[in-house]
Amino acid sequence: MTQGTCTSALLAAQVAGELVGPDDVVIDGVAALALAGPSDVSFLGNPRYVPQVLPSAAGVVLIPRAGFDEAPPAGRAWIKCDDPAAAFSQLVPMFVAPPLEYAPGIHPTAFVHETATVDGTAHVGPLAVIEAGASVGANSVISGATYVGQETTIGEGCLIYPNVTLRERTRIGNRVTIHSGTVIGSDGFGYEQTPTGHAKVPQVGFVQIDDDVELGAQVAVDRARFGRTWIKSGVKVDNLVQIAHNVVIHEHAMIIGQAGIAGSTSIGQGTVIAAQSGVAGHLSIGAGSVIAGRTGVSKDLPPGAQVVGVPAVPRRAHVKRISAYKGVERCQKKIKQLQAEMAELRALIETKG
């Protein structure tokens, strides 16, 4: 085998799976079922894709240990796994290009204030700006055209992609990844209405982002009015998410694209907020809650809540609500039918009258 190639037998051993079919299928890439070729490994991660497995050209497919009993076509192999998606993720690094490497040092076009501290193992890219009193930890990467404001601290092993803005006094932990276009530490949206217009409320707090957080592209996290806006360890945030001032997002929560969280709301540990959902301000969302896509939450949620809709209701209540809507539609059709029949009877009576 050359580098980047592997046999079906070795793949099965790598993921502790059960090989079904030939042990000598040579694999040199990864792909989705619909796009895979004979030298690719793919996986069945969702029952809806079962119809794609047999027609797929993938040389090897990772499948669940139960629930799929079709034999592989000639020249192809299955590998039965406890979790095909997780096993596939384990195999991907064997076939794709290694992560980009960043040489330690400061690019000549970067600006680093004389009072800033940059570890000797860190990378500062072209046209980056690191202001007074800021610090960058060991093995961190500050990509080109990124702005690091005064007294901002960045821990070890962070990856800050191009065109990120970290405003003054932001605190970034270790192993944090921030994608392009994200702005951390803008003023919170705070105004008081006065007879002469809107008076700005000073936003004098900061943003704290703990270890192992990843923020997608064009995320906005506002600084606190007082104290901190706080994203705790392990939180994952998708693209185009708005996190307002003084929000606290607890460990390992996931916030999906175009969601918004209003000020001073607490999001419990392990909570999932799906795409295009909105959570009102000054609420407490219990740990392990699941907020479905396009849901509007205006009240506190207990731990483990599963809500959907506008306004948000428990998932089972939403199913009943949808069923009721369908029942109303059936009633409307029946009423129209009865009205037509009554009109015919009235016409018949008048004719014979």
How do residues 8-18 score in pLDDT, each as one tens digit? Answer: 999 999 999 99
Average pLDDT over residues 73-78: 97
State the Cα angle at 32 between 161 and 98, rounded to 5°.
40
Q: Is pLDDT at 311 greater than 50 in this prediction?
A: yes
Phi, psi of 284 (to 5 degrees): -120, 115
pLDDT (mean) for 325-339: 84
What span, in angstroms and rounded, lies between the C-alpha atoms of 67 and 47? 9
**Alpha-carbon span 340 to 242, nearest angstrom:** 53
Residue 245 is a catalytic residue: yes
Q: What is the pLDDT of residue 353?
A: 62
When pLDDT is averaged across residues 213-242 and rounded to a whole number, the result is 99
**What whole-number distance in Å separates Cα of residue 309 and Cα of residue 294?**
7
By the 10 Å C-beta count (0-12 exposed, 13-18 middle, 19+ buried), 269 is classed as: middle
Q: What is the pLDDT of residue 350?
A: 83
- For residue 352, what pLDDT band results from cuts at 50, 70 and 90? confident
User: By mean pLDDT, which of 188-192, 319-323, 342-346 is the weakest?
Assistant: 319-323
Q: Strands 313-314, 129-130: parallel, antiparallel or unpaired by DSSP?
A: unpaired
Q: What is the pLDDT of residue 180?
A: 99
Per-residue pLDDT, 3: 54
With tokens 């499948």, the residue in question is 63
Least confident span in 144-148, 174-178, 272-276, 319-323: 319-323
Phi-psi region for residue 133, left (φ > 0), alpha (ψ -120 to 50) or beta?
Answer: left
**pLDDT value of residue 320:** 75
Q: Do the strands 306-308 and 313-314 form a parallel or antiparallel pair, or are they unpaired?
A: antiparallel
Name the band, by pLDDT with cuts 50, 70 and 90, for residue 1: very low
Say whether pLDDT at 323 is over 80. Answer: no
Catalytic-labelled residue, pool 179, 245, 250, 252: 245
pTM: 0.85
pLDDT tens-place string over residues 155-171: 999 999 999 999 999 99
Please determine, for residue 197, whether its predicted confidence score (pLDDT) is greater than 60: yes
Q: What angle do CA 81, 82, 86 make, to 5 degrees?
A: 85
Using the Cα atoms of residue 309, residue 310, residue 312 and residue 313 in order, give the sign of their dihedral: negative
Q: Answer yes or no: is pLDDT of 132 > 70.
A: yes
d(CA 35, CA 32): 5
Q: Could you give the C-alpha distances from 256 to 135, 179, 224, 238, in angstroms and in order? A: 30, 15, 22, 5
Polymer length of the chain: 353
Residues 31-51, mean pLDDT to the nearest whole number: 96
Whether residue 169 contacts residue 203, with contact meaning beta carbons closer than 8 Å, is answered with no
Q: What percent of the chain has pLDDT over 90?
A: 86
